[in-house]
Structure 1
Amino acid sequence: MRNKPWKTGLAAIVLGTMIIQGAIPVLADGVGSAAAVVSAPSVNYGLTNDIRAAIKSVAVTPTANGSQISATVRLYNGGESVNRVPEHELRVRTTSGIVYTLKPSVSNKAALQPHEIGELVYMADIDSKEITQIDQLSFVNVDLYSYPKKETTLLAMPTTSVWYGTGASAPQVPDTMNWGQAFTIPGVNSGLVYTPVDVTMQNTSTGRAAVVTVLAENPGTGREIVPDFRLDAQSEQKSYVGTRTETGSVALEAGEKKYIHFAIPVENSVTPSKLLVVSTDNFVAAAGSQPVVLATGKAAIAWPVSTGSGVAAPAYTIGTPIAFDNLTTVIDKKTQVSLMELTLHENPGEGYKTAVAKFKLTNTSDVPTATPAFLSQLSNAQGVTYQGTRQTNVTSMMNPGLSYVVSYSFIVPQSETGTSFALKLLDGQSVAPFTTTIAALQTNVQEDSTDDVISMYPFDLKFNSITVGSITTPQLTYTYKFTLDLDITQKENIVVDNNFSKLRFEIVDNAGRVVGSKDAALTGDNKLVSGKQTLDASNIASDQMSSPFTVNVYEVIDTPSGTAKRLLKTVKS
């Protein structure tokens, strides 16, 4: 009997970097291949002179009427020609000596090409809940044409690992790995190494789900396809079935790393205690029938421990390039993103505060590139998270050597008094409708300027004076205009267009009523300029005049959820 090479997935437990829930998952470097993989030797057996066999999975799971027994066996043809799979029945034996014959899937291969690997799937529904532990799986040839019929055992293999479900009475459960440990999937024909790097609880219109990010790495020398498996979540009371969000196959070239993601719907207020790595196989009972998915638990991963102190993120210096996950496809490698402003302001009369984050996006390449479309979240020290809203209109392309400004607004309650926040930038495309973190940073909100110059990046504004006047109409009502004297300075190589935020001037009388307002742009044909100019605030009229007046100057940003306002200055006229 010839010994042929046999490629198989091996159980592996590798101590990796511990990642706390909510932390930035920038782990593309230094994970997987950098760790020493400890693995157990694979066990395979000779079925014929050329074909070797190994057990991929065996499972006994409860059904409504009894139990379902399933098994998947992997065969390898080490010969130099086509070899038929010998005629056989697949049988399992319990520790009490009872033998069950499983039915083959109609999709099972009848022959293997030279050096081909094939998987044979078997299943049987047994109307009994008294099935004890499985200790052996065997190929048995049955000669029905002899009398009495002749049975020949072609191969018997011990079953050292059997999946019995997640119930408390299960006689065998997988070992639980720590969060952040790298692993391969036992019994699966793949050398890919996986590391869980991030998990978040997210709410969408379809409900609540745990979204798990796993780093997949190919340490081998050839191209590999991520095999069929999923991550389920388990709480103290029940299990929740997950789904891989990537559609179609995911391929990794030699040495390549990619993220794969799993969405696991869970009930409100449920916090899972562990994750289950579950391999899946399809059993087809008859031609044209729908396949039955056979799920086998392979390993367990402890749920990450939360510190309870909010989001972990590195300290950030305003104006410096943000460090993104090396594997993200949202941000082009030649695009730099910097946070230029983070401000938190009262909105008089609105009942809430508004935080505004203003980003500078710079195209450092020599060709036009698409403007990145990332999402954002702001979290305070207690872990309370606010969703950001991007300004309504953003240029679609960025020319080389130039910077563009994009603003995000966050509506926060009046009770929010924090001055330090964690800002997470998110990928909202790869796993839609869910999100994954591509960068995180910790920074303080900027205090209002105490001098005469106000920063409205990329502009610096200095209001020298604002005076309010009134006009009496023939209907004996008053309309208002105001004259302002200001200096405007703009940073170089920063593109601002009609999408940029505007200034809003609100005239407030001594009774606190807004009696006139005017929006003014810093871009376009009728933009504000340095020097003196007069603006007409005729959109509001009053039948009485009450002076003196106060002028509130706001920066206003149009967002899909409405207009976000940032109070810049209050001037007594």
Structure 2
Amino acid sequence: MKNKPWKTGLAALVLGTMIVQGGIPVLAADATTSVVSAPSVNYGLTSDIRAAIKNASVTPTATGSQISATIRLYNGGAAQNRVPEHELRVRTTSGVEYTLKPSASNKDALQPKEISELVYMAAIDSKEVTQIDQISFVHVDIYSYPKVETTLLAMPTAAVWYGTGSAAPQKLDILNWGQAFTIPGVNSGLVYTPVEVSMQNTSTGRATVVTVLAENPGAGRETVPAFRLDAQSEQKSYEGKRSEADPVALEAGEKKYIHFAIPVENGVTFSNLIVVSTDTFTPKGGGQSTTLATGKVAVEWPKSNQTATAAPAYTIGTPIAFDALTKVVDKKTEVSLMELHLHENPGEGYKTAVAKFKLTNTSDVPTATPAFLSELTNAQGVTYQGSRQSNVTTMMNPGLSYVVSYSYIVPQTETSTGFTLKLLDGQSAAPYTTTIASLQTNVQDEETGGMISMYPFDLKFNDVTVNTQTTAALTYTYKFRLDLDIQQKENVVVDNNFSKIRFEIVDTAGRVVGSKDASFTGVNKLISGKQTLDASNIASDQFSYPFTVNVYEIIDTQNGTAKRLLKTIK
């Protein structure tokens, strides 16, 4: 017995704007935003199932065109409903019809109140595919002769993606940088705002990193849908990728950052960012899946004055204001910049800047030590990456402060006295970074006499003398006799990770002929009053008199030992 043709009520065949009525959710983003995005018109496919066009595209390939469409279905009934057997066809403005192949992942039935997306694609070996104006569900009864075709639903296509080429018949709406938007056609009420863009270099190459603020203004939990950001220049487009590997979900009223890395070439100038909705097509019978990309909205590339927000002036020792959404620094942790020094390195070909931060746990429980990155930028926009001290305590006890130092290697030609100091999140968009705090501050003058600040210590060298002793093996031992005043701030933890003082003996030829490191912790720590230190031995042929003693603060960092010159004694 031959099968009967699948039938629907006349209402399901009517073309028009059959908007979902009460009790059935609108299948589109309709949140209030600064962009007026028309909701996807949805139509009756059956008495219970409604359909809307999510994505439609016609993009050029090496041999012709790729046509794709993604249709969103909603089962508004109280029971499981089977998706009617059909072919999905697109019609061009010249009247030519193409049948698209369904993805292997397309569902055959929908549970009550379920929303699902059906993905279709066809590769056409012809460059004569024109604009499409209609997508249809067509039931074909192959058991009738001649075969009987019934149009179950025909939907006009208002927005189709034809790529970024100059000959594309439809252009995307272009939004201003910083303007909030929803993604047209996508079943999501999330609102997005681009907030930061930066060019960064890593070991894997150069990339543009774009930070987007996602906000859920709705009443329920939502997951960020599949989309990416591409960058567009006059010559071509550069495909981006979201840095977050795991799904990003937002509770009602919640805000989160999402990040996109776009690999680029040197010297490229961009005109726009393209918001691209993505779907996956999996061929039936096996084969490699294909990512279908549909451009939705263009965002104007920001001008320099739109991204380079002036950092606020900062007062040394005050708590730093962090981005409210950052996860790097706990809300109960205060971070203050206590020192920033830039100085010469005798005998080296560069200068060194050292920044020292106080981290205070203001809560009543132990908390993890924040692991932020940092960089210095001068007035000309030249940026120097910071190197964090190697060993840092992992947990901070309540009511106590801890000290973490960063060093920056800068050229001898650097003469700036004021810098923008940025604190960075190196985790959320790894291997790239995003800004979590920015401040404008001046470097501090090195003390020429009196007290020397080495937070949390204040040092005063009352007297330093150096004597030598010769052994039978013709080697020399240096003895430092120190008279120091040391004052320490209260409730600041100093452990084995804290920086040390190094005394270097330099002869008239500029050679370091002896050295001694002294610590502020341990059995032989530096103390107020008089004390003696023995320096390391040297060979007699390295010695000449008179000599100079350079006193440094030394910090072990991930890039080696950083030195800050504290005092020169002749």
Unaligned runs of 5+ in 2: 1-10, 12-19
- 1:311–1:477 CA distance, 2 compared to 1 (3 A): farther
- Give how far 1:357 is off: 0.4
Q: How many residues align?
A: 551
Aligned CA distance change for structure 1 residues 363 and 554 (closer, same or farther; 3 Å): same
Question: Are residues 1:514 and 2:512 paired?
Answer: yes
**Counterpart pick for 1:367 among 360, 365, 373:** 365
- Post-superposition CA distance 1:52-92 (Å, at most 9, x none): 11111110011111111001111111122222222221111
Q: Please, which moves more after superposition, 554-563 or 475-484? A: 475-484
Name the residue aligned to 2:166. 168
Report the RMSD for the aligned CA atoms in angstroms. Answer: 1.9
Report which structure shows greater RCO (CA 8 Å, sep ≥6): 1
Task: For 1:3, give the aligned amino acid.
Answer: Q
2:25 counterpart residue number? 6
Of 133, 137, 146, the residue aligned with 2:144 is 146
TM-superposed CA distance for 1:450, in Å, is 4.1
Q: Is the Cα–Cα contact under 8 Å of residues 13 and 183 in structure 1 kept in the other structure? A: no
Deviation at 1:477, TM superposition (A): 4.2
Match 2:49 to one of 48, 51, 70: 51
Asked if structure 2 preserves the Cα contact closer than 8 Å seen for 1:311 and 1:379, the reply is no
CA contact (8 A) 1:503 1:556 kept: yes
Q: Does 1:406 pair with 2:425?
A: no
Q: CA deviation at 1:42?
A: 3.4
- Give per-residue Cα distances to partners, 1:313-352, cap 9 Å, x unaligned: 1111111111111111111111111100010010011100
CA positional deviation for 1:537: 1.7
- In the TM superposition, 1:521-532 aligns within 5 A as 521-532=519-530
For the structure 1 residues 156 and 544, does the alpha-carbon distance in structure 2 shift closer, same or farther, using more than 3 Å as the test? closer
Contact kept? 1:479, 1:542, Cα under 8 Å: no
1-structure distance, mates of 2:309, 2:232? 24
Report matched runs for 1:243-254 at 5 Å: 243-254=241-252
Mapping for residues 538-557 of structure 1, pairs under 5 Å: 538-543=536-541, 546-557=544-555
Shift of 1:183: 0.7
The 2-side partners of 1:469 and 1:311 are apart by 56
Q: How far 1:312 sits from its partner (Å)?
A: 3.1
Mapped partners of 1:418, 1:112: distance in 2:
66
Does the 8 Å contact 2:196/2:307 carry over to 1? no
1:491 aligned to 483, 489, 492, which one? 489
> Alignment partner for residue 76 of structure 1, among 70, 74, 77?
74
Match of 2:93 in 1: 95
SS in 1 for 2:535: strand
Following superposition, the deviation at residue 139 of structure 1 comes to 1.4
- Cα distance change, pair 43–310 in 1 and its aligned pair in 2 (3 A): closer
User: Deviation of residue 546 (structure 1)?
Assistant: 4.0
Give the Cα separation in 2 of the matches to 1:144 and 1:478. Answer: 103
Contact 1:309 1:381 in 2 (8 A): no
1:27 alignment counterpart: none
Q: CA offset at residue 556 of structure 1?
A: 0.7
- Give the 3 Å change call, closer, same or farther, for CA 300–114 of structure 1 in structure 2: same
Deviation at 1:479, TM superposition (A): 3.0
| 1:271 CA drift (Å) | 3.1
The residue aligned with 1:437 is 435
Q: How does 1:384-399 map to 2 (within 5 A)?
A: 384-399=382-397
Instruction: Quote the offset at 1:467 in angstroms.
Output: 1.2
Q: 2:31·2:217 contact (CA, 8 Å) conserved in 1?
A: no
Question: Which of 318, 321, 327 is the equivalent residue of 2:319?
Answer: 321
- AA aligned opposite 2:284: A
Match of 1:42 in 2: 40
Change (3 A) 1:473 1:553: same
| Conserved 8 A contact 1:181-1:195 | yes
Task: Choose the corresponding residue for 2:182, options 184, 189, 196.
Answer: 184
Q: What is the Cα deviation at residue 253 of structure 1?
A: 1.0
Counterpart-to-counterpart distance in 1, 2:122 and 2:340:
62
Alignment-derived partner of residue 479 in structure 1: 477
8 Å Cα contact 2:33/2:182 also seen in 1: no
Residues 266 and 12 from structure 1, CA distance in 2 versus in 1: closer, same or farther, beyond 3 angstroms? Answer: farther
Please state how far the C-alpha of 1:511 moved relative to its aligned partner: 4.5
- Secondary structure of 1:314's counterpart equals coil
Match of 2:119 among 118, 121, 125: 121
Paired amino acid for 2:166: A
Please say if 1:270 is aligned against 2:268.
Answer: yes
Give the 3 Å change call, closer, same or farther, for CA 11–3 of structure 1 in structure 2.
closer
SS at match of 1:273: strand
TM-score with structure 1 length normalisation? 0.93
How far apart, CA to CA, are the structure 1 residues paired with 2:42 and 2:308?
Answer: 49
Q: Bigger shift: 401-410 or 307-316?
A: 307-316
CA distances 1:364-393 after superposition (whole Å, capped 9, x unpaired): 111111111111111111111111111111
Q: Is the partner of 2:275 in helix, strand or coil?
A: strand
In the alignment, the residues of structure 2 paired with residue 438 and residue 164 of structure 1 have an alpha-carbon distance, to the nearest angstrom, of 38
Question: What secondary structure does 2:270 align onto?
Answer: coil
The aligned residue for residue 225 of structure 1 is 223
Kept in 2, the 8 Å contact 1:12–1:40? The answer is no
For structure 1, the residue ranges without an aligned partner over 5 or more in a row are: 16-36
Cα distance in 1 between the residues matched to 2:283 and 2:544: 85
Aligned to 2:290: 292
Secondary structure of 1:139 counterpart: strand
Match of 2:353 in 1: 355
3-state secondary structure, aligned to 1:411: strand
CA 1:224/1:545 → structure 2, altered by over 3 Å: closer, same or farther? closer
Offset from partner CA, 1:513-560 (integer Å, 9 cap, x none): 433221111111111111111111234343476444322111111112
Change (3 A) 1:476 1:77: closer
**In structure 2, what is the equivalent of residue 460 of structure 1?**
458
| Aligned positions of 1:101-116 closer than 5 A | 101-116=99-114
Q: Tell whether the 8 Å contact from 2:207 to 2:262 is kept in structure 1 after alignment.
A: yes
Letter of the 1:459 partner, please give it.
F
Deviations 1:223-261 (A, max 9, x none): 111111111111111111111111121111111111111
Q: Is the 8 A contact 1:468 1:481 kept in 2?
A: yes
CA distance in 1, matches of 2:511, 2:112: 86
Contact 2:31 2:190 in 1 (8 A): no
1:9 and 1:185 in contact (8 A); partners too: no
Shift of 1:269: 2.1
Mapped contact 1:60–1:164 kept (Cα < 8 A): yes
What percent of counterpart residues are identical? Answer: 78
User: How do residues 14-29 of structure 1 correspond to structure 2 at under 5 angstroms?
Assistant: 14=33
Q: 1:331 to 1:515 in 2, by over 3 A?
A: same
User: Shift of residue 9 of structure 1?
Assistant: 3.3
**Structure 2 residue aligned with 1:421:** 419
Partner of 1:469: 467
Q: Cα–Cα, structure 1 residues 158 and 544, in superposed 2: closer, same or farther, change >3 Å?
A: closer
Aligned counterpart in structure 2 of residue 305 of structure 1, from 274, 292, 303: 303
Residue pair 1:13, 1:181 contacting (<8 A) in 2 also: no
The normalised TM-score by structure 2 is 0.93
Shift of 1:309: 11
